[in-house]
Structure 1
């Protein structure tokens, strides 16, 4: 079950449901234990692979490649320039790049007419319920769900 809160937009004064997260984030140990239940590997093996996944993805993306994980989606780097534009193409250089962002596109499945039928990690039967309680962690106030604040996730190596 997924949760939402009612949120009034300042720009148009209209109300919309706003997806929120509740509780503490699921950690690597929990995911490793769940993966081991669904497969023939031990929780320790799952944990070891997941701990190295970020650096492996980062290495491939640093080579200018996208990384596609079946059943999950595609990861790739984009360059942040923070409005450091120049007047002509011949003045463009790597020194204008101020940071790196990791982008993610969930895997999609298409039917015979090329229309998207499902996206990975999105259950087509999600049951939404209005959140009426207090959060024990996460961001029940909605903060942190929309991005757009802070440094935009700029790190030297966001996956490692």
Structure 2
């Protein structure tokens, strides 16, 4: 089951449900154990591959490539430029890049008519429940959600 809490947005003063996570993050060990149980691959082999996945993806993305993992989605870099743009396109160079982020687009499947049928990583049977009082939500590791996006779960 997935949890939400009630949050009042500063932008418009209205209340929205906001998704929250609970407990500690699932570890590479736990993922490796579960994958090993449902496949013919050992836990050690699964763990070794998972540990190297991030470095391999980063290497390909540093070469300007996107990385599409079937069943998950596509990862790619975006670059943010410094706030001080330049008035001449000839002055645009890499020194203006101030930040690099990894973006992710979940894989989707489409119906024959082109409508989105499903998104990977989004279960067909999510049951949403309000986070009970006294249960603390987990803070995201990095790049937490923007608090001012009304209606986003």
TM over 0.5: yes
Q: What is the distance in 2 between the residues matched to 1:16 and 1:119?
A: 23
Partner of 1:158: none
Is 1:94 aligned to residue 94 of structure 2? yes
Q: Report what 1:124 is aligned to.
A: 124
Residues 103, 67 of structure 1: alpha-carbon distance in 2 compared, 3 angstrom cutoff: same
Report the TM-score when normalising by structure 2: 0.88
Matches within 5 A, 1:17-56: 17-56=17-56
Counterparts in 2 of 1:17 and 1:144: CA distance versus 1, 3 Å: farther
Structure 2 gap segments, 5+ residues each: 148-153
Alpha-carbon distance in 1 for matches of 2:56, 2:101: 16
Q: Distance in 2 between matches of 1:76 and 1:106?
A: 12
Alignment size in residue pairs? 145
What CA distance in whole angstroms lies between the structure 1 residues aligned with 2:67 and 2:107?
12
Secondary structure of the corresponding residue to residue 78 of structure 2: strand
Structure 2 CA distance for aligned equivalents of residues 15 and 113 of structure 1? 35
CA distance in 2, matches of 1:93, 1:144: 26
Superposition deviation, residue 138 in structure 1 = 1.9
For structure 1, the 5+ residue unaligned runs are 149-160
RMSD of aligned residue pairs (Cα, Å) = 1.9
**Normalization by structure 1: what TM-score?**
0.85
Q: Deviations over 1:124-149 (max 9, x none)?
A: 221000001323x7239xx974158x
Distance 1:72 1:144 in 2: 19
Q: CA deviation at 1:82?
A: 2.9
Q: 1:146: which partner in 2?
A: 145
CA distance in 2 between counterparts of 1:18 and 1:48 reads 35
Distance in 2, matches of 1:36 and 1:71, equals 17
Task: Indicate the residue corresponding to 2:135 in structure 1.
Answer: 134
The aligned residue for residue 13 of structure 2 is 13
Residue 86 of structure 1 aligns to a residue whose secondary structure is: coil
